[in-house]
Structure 1
Amino acid sequence: MINPSAQGWVDKFFNTYYLLSATNLYSLKDFYCKTRETGFIYGHVVIIDTQEPLSTEGWTSEEVTKVALLNTLFGIYQLTNENAEKSTFIDLAFDFYNFMHPKGFSFFKKILPSESKTIQLEKIIDSRIQTNDNIISKNFSHILTNALLFIDVLAFYNYLIKGKFTKDYVQKLEEIIVGVVSLSLTTKSNKSQYDDLLIKLFETSVRYTKFSGFKINDLNALNFSFLENDLEKFYIMDLAGMAIWGDEKMERNEVAFLYDLGSILLIEQFYIIESLTVIDAFIKKYRNDIPYFNYSNPIKHFYDQTTQSVVMLITRNKKRLLKELTESKELVKLLAASTTRELDNNEKKRMKKQLLDVCKTIPSLTIFLLPGGSLLLPILIKFIPQLLPSAFNENLD
């Protein structure tokens, strides 16, 4: 089992789930369609396509996205190299991100020169999927931020083919994507809350372009001649379809816009239809799990995301938590009593104080020690009786 939040997960991923001696024979289109099936294109990964089955049960969405980004980068590397080697890939990926974000950028400050390139790459990938500074906006808007991560894959492919990285490539590609999405949204006769949210999410997702300040009137104003391969064109078409999907119905002007875009990109009509069909099926299947569709109550969404993270931390630290609990007899008694009666205020204070002492001994649970962390204690208190032996819970008799 891989823990993508612990050091060494990249090595374990390659040693366990990838057969590096196998040759990837996919074409660009096959690779793209397989990547799209995983949900990586849409920013909501539902499966990681590896040669050995990989379970993501109990992972956070950020952890799934980290491994998916690594896997997709390695997949595009396989397309350009008949003899794909892990060590060579690590070197190339690290150098690529060094060119993409020079040392002055914040997440490179976390890297120590003495660390191996594999560990440094883990830190880069971790920072790459966390682009929002505010924790509430991060939990609320990461879906589109992560959808635009495929730009990293396109830029890496360009870097592998040409042997050099140009920041101009990423900037121009992002400009085209922002322009197409902006025009896609303006084709709607009636805008919905979904469309307004989508605009806000793209504004927090772009890295080199000001989404709100991008004003164009038609597709001809965009420099599509800059595009060089089918991966770029398929991706732009899918993002346009994703932007238009909102109300689950296609107006004539929306269909006409997509066909015009396809004509400019030299994409056959059957792919446009396929793109919309796949988007429709994917969103309908996973709508309840995709964060940006839960826009009606962002505070509830934030709480749900936080609860999920806390439960995950408790589950992963179950053995250590049990050990600490057994050494705190008064705490165990209070927890046992809480399953049968309401604790008084004094007992609650003592229990919370001792719980915080327990959390101090487990580094990953330091979230409870942060300002406001005590607000999460009810989640911990609610979950802990499930970890206690059945003898402590009389309700199970």
Structure 2
Amino acid sequence: MINPSANGWIDKFFAENQDNFLDFQQNTLSFYEDCRSTGFIYGYVVRYQLQNQIDTSKWSYDEITKVGFLNTLFSIYNIEKSDVSKEDFINAVYQFYKIIQPENLNFIKKLLPEGSYSSRLEKIIDDRIQTNNNTISKNFSHIITNALLFIDILAFEHYLKKQELPTDYLKNIESDCIKIVSLALKIKERKSKYDELLVKLFENSIRYTKFNTIENIELAEIKIIRHTSLLERLYLLDIAQMALWCDEKLELNEQHFLEKLSQDLDLNKIILDKSEKEIYDFIEKYKSEIPFFNYSNPIKHFYDQANKNVTKLIIRNKDRLTKEIKESGELMQLLAKSATKDLSKDEKKKIKKQLLDICKTIPSLTIFLLPGGSLLLPILIKFIPQLLPSAFNENLED
């Protein structure tokens, strides 16, 4: 089982999936359409570009996104390079990121002076999906924050084709994405609560520009002609689809806008129709899971997200956590008591202190050591009784 939060997960991913990768036969359109169905294009990963899927039931969403990001990078590398090896791929990705974020790479090099490229790449991928400043602000966010992560794939494809990356490539592609979103929002006849959330989504996702809705922009002003790659053009069309889909219905002028955009992008009607259908089908299927479409009170959203993450962490570390708790007699008694009664303020303090000591020995539970981590203790206490011996659960007595 891969643990995407522990060192060595990239090597293990390749070791466990060496015969499991999809072969797109150098077909870029096939790769992109499959990538669309994984949800990576939309910023919400639901599956991987693998023949047999990985069990992700015990992973946090960040971990799912990390593996999806690596898998997509490897897929595009497979398309561009005929002689594929894991080592060559990892080296190519590392060299690519040395170009686009040299400051971070220098820091990582100092952090892991003797580390392999794969271990350094793990740090890079972790950094690329962390678009919010810290865990607390990210958990309070209503929306997904990796909507523009596919731009890295576009830049990597360009790097593989040209063996170089212009200094303004990322800024230009990101800027044009933002302009297309602004134009799409401008022509919408019916405004919805999701429009404001969509702006926040892109504000949280951009790295090289500032998001400003541009009131007077026209499609002709966007330099569509500079986007010669099929992947770039397909993605720009889907970005427009994402902006217009929020009210679940395309008005006549919105349809005309998409038709004009697809023409300017030199994409035919079949591709446009498929783009419209696939975003509709994807969101209809996963709407209840995608945070963007589940607007809620910020505090409730934070608690719900923390609840999901902590539950997965507890399940993943069940055996180790149970062993540590058993070795702490007082903690064992207090947790057993918490299963049937409310704890006093002093008892909760004791639980907090002893749990924090335990969390120091289980790295993936260090979320409790972060500022505000104490807010998660009620969630942990809620689930801990399930880990206690059956003697503490009267419902299981004969």
Q: What TM-score do you get using the length of structure 2 for normalisation?
A: 0.93
Matched, 1:225 2:222: no
CA distance in 1, matches of 2:247, 2:128: 31
Contact 1:322/1:387 (CA < 8 Å) preserved in 2?
A: yes
Q: Is 1:325 matched up with 2:325?
A: yes
Q: CA deviation at 1:356?
A: 3.1
Report the residue type matching 2:165 in the other structure.
Answer: F
CA shift in 2, pair 1:109/1:360, >3 Å: same
Report Cα offsets for 1:152-180 as digits up to 9, x if no partner. 00100000000112221211111211111
Query: Could you say what secondary structure the match of 1:103 adopts?
Result: helix
Q: CA 1:324 to 1:284, structure 2 compared with 1: closer, same or farther past 3 Å? A: same
What pairs with 1:25-64 in structure 2 (closer than 5 Å)? 25-64=25-64
Asked whether the 8 Å contact 1:8–1:119 carries over to 2, the reply is yes
- 1:302 is matched with 302
Contact 1:141 1:204 in 2 (8 A): no
Comparing 114-123 and 135-144, the one that deviates more:
135-144
Q: What CA distance in whole angstroms lies between the structure 2 residues aligned with 1:303 and 1:309?
A: 10
Partner of 1:237: 237
Structure 1 stretch displaced more, 329-338 or 344-353? 344-353
Q: Structure 1's 191 and 331: CA in aligned 2 closer, same or farther, altered over 3 A?
A: same
- The AA in structure 2 aligned to 1:72 is T
Name the amino acid aligned to 1:360.
K
Partner residue, 2:285: 285
Please list the CA deviations of residues 132-161 of structure 1 after superposition, one character each: whole Å capped at 9, or x if unmatched.
Answer: 114344235595531211100010000000
SS of equivalent residue, structure 2 residue 54? coil
CA contact (8 A) 2:147 2:202 kept: no
**How far, CA to CA, are the matches of 1:371 and 1:136 in structure 2?**
8
Shift in Å at residue 186 of structure 1? 0.7
Q: Which residue of 2 aligns with 1:197?
A: 197
- SS of the equivalent of 1:45 reads coil
Is it true that 1:69 corresponds to 2:102 in the alignment? no
Equivalent residue number for residue 159 of structure 1: 159
Q: Deviations over 1:272-314 (max 9, x none)?
A: 1211111111111111111111223232222211122212222
Secondary structure of 1:146's aligned partner? coil
Deviates more, 1:132-141 or 1:84-93: 132-141
Q: How many residue pairs align between the two structures?
A: 397
- Give secondary structure in 2 for the equivalent of 1:324: helix
Inter-CA distance 306–20: structure 2 relative to 1 (3 Å threshold): closer
1:381 alignment partner in structure 2? 381
- The residue type equivalent to 1:119 in the other structure is S
Distance in 1 between residues matched to 2:22 and 2:223, nearest whole Å: 39
Quick check: 324-333 or 233-242, which moved more? Answer: 324-333
Cross-structure match for 1:182: 182
Q: Report the Cα distance in structure 2 between the residues aligned to 1:69 and 1:91, rounded to whole angstroms.
A: 16
Could you tell me how far apart the structure 1 residues matched to 2:191 and 2:345 are?
51
Q: Give the C-alpha shift of residue 393 in structure 1.
A: 1.2
Which amino acid is the alignment partner of residue 209 of structure 1?
T
For 2:181 and 2:225, locate their aligned partners in 1 and report how far apart those are by CA, in whole Å: 18
Label 1:24 to 1:259 Cα distance change in 2 as closer, same or farther (>3 A).
closer
Unaligned runs of 5+ in 2: none
Label 1:141 to 1:232 Cα distance change in 2 as closer, same or farther (>3 A): farther
Q: Which residue of 1 aligns with 2:313?
A: 313
Give the superposition deviation at 1:353.
Answer: 3.4
Q: Is 1:368 matched with 2:378?
A: no
Q: What is the CA RMSD across the aligned residues, in angstroms?
A: 2.2
Paired AA for residue 7 in structure 2: Q
Q: Which residue of 1 aligns with 2:121?
A: 121
Change (3 A) 1:203 1:343: closer
What runs of 5+ residues in structure 1 fail to find an aligned partner?
Answer: none
Alignment of 1:343-358 (within 5 A): 343-358=343-358
1:43 and 1:143 in contact (8 A); partners too: no
Tell me the residue number matched to 2:133: 133
1:341 shift after superposition = 3.4
Alpha-carbon distance, 1:128 to partner: 0.4
- Greater Cα shift, 55-64 or 107-116: 107-116
Equivalence map 1:337-348=2 (5 Å): 337-348=337-348
SS in 2 for 1:289: coil
Contact 2:240 2:258 (C-alpha < 8 Å) held by counterparts:
yes
Cα distance, 1:368 vs structure 2: 2.3
Q: CA deviation at 1:108?
A: 4.1
Change (3 A) 1:111 1:155: farther
Q: CA deviation at 1:217?
A: 2.2
The whole-number CA distance in structure 2 between the counterparts of 1:9 and 1:318 is 20
| Counterpart amino acid of residue 155 in structure 1 | A
| Percent identity over paired residues | 54
Q: How many angstroms does 1:22 deviate by?
A: 8.3
Q: Which has the higher contact order (CA 8 A, sep 6+)?
A: 2
Judging changes above 3 Å, is the alpha-carbon distance between structure 1 residues 22 and 84 closer, same or farther for their aligned structure 2 residues?
farther
User: What is the distance in 2 between the residues matched to 1:20 and 1:89?
Assistant: 16
Say if 1:87 and 1:349 are closer, same or farther in 2 by CA, change over 3 A. closer
Is the contact between residue 26 and residue 79 of structure 2 (CA under 8 Å) also seen in structure 1? yes
Q: Tell me by how many angstroms 1:204 deviates.
A: 2.0
C-alpha distance in 2 between matches for 1:204 and 1:106? 25
